[in-house]
Amino acid sequence: DGGGARSISQLVILHRIMHRLRFEKYPNEPTKPVFPCEHFDMIVGSDTGGLITIMLTKLRLSVEDAIEEFCAVYEAVYKDAELTPVARSARLRSCMEDLLSRKGLPTDLKLAEGSPQEHCAGFVLATPRINMNHTIRLRTYGVRTEPSLDVTVIDAVMATCASQAAFAPVPLGSHYTRQEYGMAPNGSNPIRDIISEAYSVFGGDSTVTCLLSVGSGHPGIISVPSKSDSYTLFSVMQGVLLDCEKRAVEMQEQMGHLGIYFRLSVEQGMQKSQDLLDQKLSGIVTYTEAYLDTPITNDTLDACVERLVTSTGPVALNHLKYAGGLKAVYKGFPALATHYIRRVEIWKHLVASIESPDIGQKVIVITGMAGCGKTQLVADLMQEYDSSRSSQFSHTCFIDGSSDRSIRTDLISHVNAMSGGSTVDISSSLNFFQNPSNKRWLLVYDNVDDTKIDIAALLPECRHGTIVITTRNQLLRKLVSDRQLHLELDVMSEADAVDLVLRCARRHLPSEDEAKTASQIVSKLGYLPVALTQAGCYMADTKCSCDEYYELLAEHLTDLMEETSGDRQNQGAYAAFDLTYSRLSNQIQDLVHLLSCFHFTNFPLAIISHAAQHLFRNDPFPFTEQSDEFRDAIELLDKIFLPSGKWSKLVILNITRVLQTYSLASFTSTPATQLLRVHPLMREWAYARIPLERRVSFHAAAFRLLVCCTDATQLYPYLPSHIDATMLRSVPMEPSISIRAAFGKLLRLAGQQRRARTIWQNIYDHIRTEIGTDDLRIATIALELAATHDNGSLGSMETLELEAVRIRTAVLGAHHLDTLDAKSALYATFVRQGRRTEAVKLMQETLEALKAQLPPNHPEVLKASMVLSWVFVVAGRYPEAEIIDLQVLREQKARLGEGHLDTLDAMYALSRTYYHQARYRDAEVLQEKVVDGRKSQLGETHLQTLRAIAWLASIYREQGRHSQAAVLQNQALDSLKGQLGDSHSDTLDAMSNLALSYCGQGRYFEAEALQLKVLKGRKVLFGETHAVTVDAMVKLASTYYQQGRHHDLQPLQKRIQECKRA
């Protein structure tokens, strides 16, 4: 990891490992030098971890020598916090020049020489200052996939260590490629980078013996340095350390069970340091040695060394890359409240039910009224049995049970995260749990309160596993596998309730009178945990006594009882909420109301910052004039999120602080964003408290936040449930056409094509009826509606695209950019229809018209270039396609960075061209990057991700890796069936590809069954004489031939010839 001066602890840890390794491998040679480069095949580092990496790999130092050199660097470079960035950089360069000279090496020694197989491969991470989201790898070896930057060893050290606040940027490259580089903030813990690089260098079939992650110490609570000049460097290093540990926790959850992953990082002592920049190395070493002497660390060291002396590894890189190591956890369970109290009797009953030795599946149903603590109880359960703390379960999954759709979405996403698959089919997801080889799992279905949900149909049907359901619906107790497994959760006991209130109120030593009054308070609140927490937090914040709170509560309850409406059952909780509400600023009150318009769980906080960057005014489809509701919504959002008139990240920090202070919400983290959850009862209370005359403004504000996210790629998977919730809340208010259009686009981008098509079709029909057929808005809507169609409805796509071209040509002219965009979409459809010659000519004309108006690196030019490249590929003109693909990829990397979705699309295009040129290894390297990128940004279940996986499988198949291909193809096929149906053209393509892999394995009977389905489906979709239908016949004929079935082959060959002549 990175970590500044703290990286000395990494060397101390490595020294202990090398010492033990010497005694294991060379027991009779206690003084024999042991070098890390002789026992590890690859080492990666970032920041000072990168400096250590180069010492151990390129310079082949022993750990002892590396410690000496690191100490020298520390004294010269890191000890003095007052140095300017330029001076600090100069000192680091001087240290490295001195080191190389003393080793008899030239100071201009090149970093990349030789192949990774010749010695221990090493690489360090750096980032171009113009695009901090893009990370490059500076390698000590050359690779086939891309040319290495021509850098020296010193340049590499300078670049990886150059944090923005402390060092001057380092220029690397030459001529047009020259850029300034610095430390990679996204690579502070480079565990994912080394897995990806090892996969690329050593191949997916290579097995891993040991994966060692060495950290720079837990950051703990680190105070800001007293010296203001060093604050920026302090902030950078604190962020590095926090990010390192966060990723380490994720990796432990995902790979800890594999037996090859070891994380060593000092946990106690170093976090007590008052100043990150003024730490004495001797103190760091002392803390590190104390950490290494603890029993747990000692066991980890032994296990790590045992793996290092083992010759073969148990886990293939394929598994780490696709199934075990790199899958981000879909989502965690709700956080436990700060003052949560475990109810002993119900807890003992629950644990005994789970751990009983009874054979068979256990279904446990926990029933109770709203707010009695069911969710907190199962969150406690999930934490207790988390894989990092318990070996009881191999998988634990928390499922939002509030609707049929949320249950299906969560099950599918959890399975994809755990298995590395890409299924979108609920049946396939349930099969994952029903598999006899996967028995040790725990599924928690929370808040299954809707009586319309057929929950039994959404449970795995098998004789293993543990299922826990929380609900208000007493009828679900019939699902339990044993009568003892129905747990009725009542309100808290008086003693526990009083304890909870006093804890939250911070009354650690209450008087007898206080305890007595607290007993009266909890009675008034009905012993409901959610209300008790509110009461205690209110007292803590206002510093009021129990007597004062009791008087307020009694008075407010009297007012509530006089109201003719409201939820009588929850009046105690509502009273507590109301008292808390009265303490909130108007800004936070409005925020609470706004959140009640969304779904109660998995609200991504990044929605707020993304929309704020648009000043809440983004309107991708301005089909109607801005209404009063539009202006009211922006005014409300400005008031809540832009109180100073401009956006600041401090707004989010303040919001989360207040919500947590009053226990109004809990937060969980994902790689993409923080997810917010409010209690369902609190959500209903908050919505009920919105004055009727203001509800339209809050609905409009909720719509506005979502509409602003049509370009927020990382948020797409989280948005559908909130679209549904806001639509339900707004009834009978009908969202405007512009809002519905944005929702249609968001649903399409989230992979929900059918729902998107329904929305766009309704808009299309309505607008044509209202304003006629020649308006520019019709053209935009027609193109969006066409985008929801697929190869199974190419006729509809063409009709809509022709209409868009006609309208835009008539209104804007034939060479207007919008007209050319519509033409590009139309010509792509021509290609799918087999009209290749026509498409090539027209697309070339379109591209030339674009180039005449725009610079060559303009997004529209690049987009049209990719369409032309695809047309060339279909027409078999591969060299021309390759020239275009290489140019587009180069421009997109320079413009957006390697990880951007548009860059990934360019990689996909070049991979496709390489495939058709039989350059399968080149195609594979690119396509694996595409798959990884789309998974992380679009999600496992997105159609674009599935198509990328299917293409990767085809590349594997062409290299003779049929088993590997079949695994991916089966996953893709199951997913496409669930999302698109058996007769969709994408599903048929997946069947055809899987059949080819089966043929490669000699599984002709299974291949034939699939090919017959493909042939039948393509006849229906395209007709018998279409090229893709004929292709299906040819592949079926090949299968007959390989089986020697000439009596079936001859009539089929005759029919193929007839169709080709037709």
Confirm if 817 and 860 have CB atoms less than 8 A apart: yes
Angle of CA points 851, 854, 859, to nearest 5°: 95
- Which of 314-318, 393-397, 586-590 shows the lowest mean pLDDT across its residues? 314-318
Give the C-alpha separation, 536 to 508, whole Å. 12
The residue segments making up the domain with residue 392 are 344-488
Confirm if 158 and 167 have CB atoms less than 8 A apart: yes
- 445 and 538 share a domain? no
- 292 and 147 share a domain? yes
Q: Is residue 675, in this structure, part of any structural domain at all? A: yes
Q: pLDDT tens digits for 383-434? A: 888 766 676 887 888 998 988 888 988 888 787 666 544 455 688 788 878 8
Q: Is residue 904, in this structure, part of any structural domain at all? A: no
- 515 and 578 share a domain? yes
Q: Is residue 23, in this structure, part of any structural domain at all? A: yes
Read off φ and ψ for residue 362, nearest 5 degrees: -110, 125
User: Quick one: pLDDT at residue 231?
Assistant: 41
Q: Which residue has the tokens 């587009």?
A: 888
pLDDT exceeds cutoff 90 at 365: yes
Token representation of residue 627:
């209404």
- 76 and 133 share a domain? yes
Q: Please, which residues have CB within 8 angstroms of residue 640's CB and are 6 or more apart in sequence?
A: 587, 590, 591, 594
Give the C-alpha separation, 759 to 756, whole Å. 5
Could you tell me which of 533, 650, 534, 675 has the C-alpha nearest to residue 598?
675
Give the C-alpha separation, 147 to 346, whole Å. 63
Which one is predicted more confidently, 375 or 669?
375
- 593 and 571 share a domain? no
Give the C-alpha separation, 431 to 33, whole Å. 53
Last residue of some domain: 565, 582, 599? 582
Last residue of some domain: 558, 582, 606? 582
- 49 and 94 share a domain? yes
- 280 and 372 share a domain? no
The strand pairing partners of 399, in sequence order, are 445
pLDDT exceeds cutoff 70 at 738: yes
Q: Is residue 764, in this structure, part of any structural domain at all? A: no
H-only helix segments in 315-456: 317-318, 344-355, 374-384, 404-419, 426-434
Task: Tell me the pLDDT band of 143, cut-offs 50, 70 and 90.
Answer: confident
- 603 and 529 share a domain? no
User: Quick one: pLDDT at residue 1034?
Assistant: 93
- 86 and 71 share a domain? yes
The CATH number covering residue 1013 comes to 1.25.40.10
The CATH number covering residue 402 comes to 3.40.50.300
User: Quick one: pLDDT at residue 312?
Assistant: 66
The mean of the pLDDT values for the chain is: 83
pLDDT exceeds cutoff 80 at 673: no
DSSP E strands in 805-948: the ranges are none
Widest Cα–Cα separation across the chain: 99
Angle of CA points 837, 839, 843, to nearest 5°: 125
- 516 and 651 share a domain? no
pLDDT exceeds cutoff 60 at 240: no
Q: pLDDT tens digits for 1025-1045? A: 888 889 999 999 999 988 888
- Mean pLDDT for 473-502 is 84
Eight-class DSSP state of 176: G
User: Quick one: pLDDT at residue 1014?
Assistant: 92
Q: What is the pTM of this model?
A: 0.51
The CATH number covering residue 60 comes to 3.40.1090.10
Q: Is residue 723, in this structure, part of any structural domain at all? A: no
Q: Please, which residues have CB within 8 angstroms of residue 545's CB and are 6 or more apart in sequence?
A: 514, 517, 539
Which one is predicted more confidently, 417 or 162?
162
Q: pLDDT tens digits for 757-782? A: 999 999 999 999 888 888 899 999 99
Which one is predicted more confidently, 528 or 778?
778
Q: Is residue 956, in this structure, part of any structural domain at all? A: no
User: Quick one: pLDDT at residue 671?
Assistant: 58
Q: pLDDT tens digits for 175-200? A: 766 888 888 876 778 888 898 888 88
Could you tell me which of 67, 49, 60 has the C-alpha nearest to residue 121?
60
Confirm if 550 and 594 have CB atoms less than 8 A apart: no
Q: Is residue 472, in this structure, part of any structural domain at all? A: yes
pLDDT exceeds cutoff 60 at 561: no
pLDDT exceeds cutoff 80 at 934: yes
Q: Which residue has the tokens 């519509």?
A: 822
Give the C-alpha separation, 469 to 536, whole Å. 29
- 30 and 69 share a domain? yes
Read off φ and ψ for residue 482, nearest 5 degrees: -155, 140
- 117 and 244 share a domain? yes
Distance set, CA 348 to CA 351, 354, 381, 482, 487 (Å): 5, 10, 11, 17, 11
Give the C-alpha separation, 39 to 21, whole Å. 9
Q: pLDDT tens digits for 971-997? A: 788 777 766 677 777 888 889 999 998
User: Quick one: pLDDT at residue 508?
Assistant: 76
Q: Is residue 385, in this structure, part of any structural domain at all? A: yes
Last residue of some domain: 563, 582, 601? 582
Give the C-alpha separation, 156 to 141, whole Å. 13
Give the C-alpha separation, 475 to 1040, whole Å. 56
DSSP E strands in 210-361: the ranges are 211-214, 261-264, 315-316
The number of folded domains in the chain is 5
Q: Which residue has the tokens 């079926």?
A: 1036
In terms of Cβ atoms closer than 10 Å to its own Cβ (0-12, 13-18, 19+), residue 1045 is middle
Confirm if 552 and 559 have CB atoms less than 8 A apart: no
Beta strands 666-669 and 674-677 are antiparallel
Helix (H, G, I), strand (E, B) or coil at 211: strand
pLDDT exceeds cutoff 90 at 639: yes
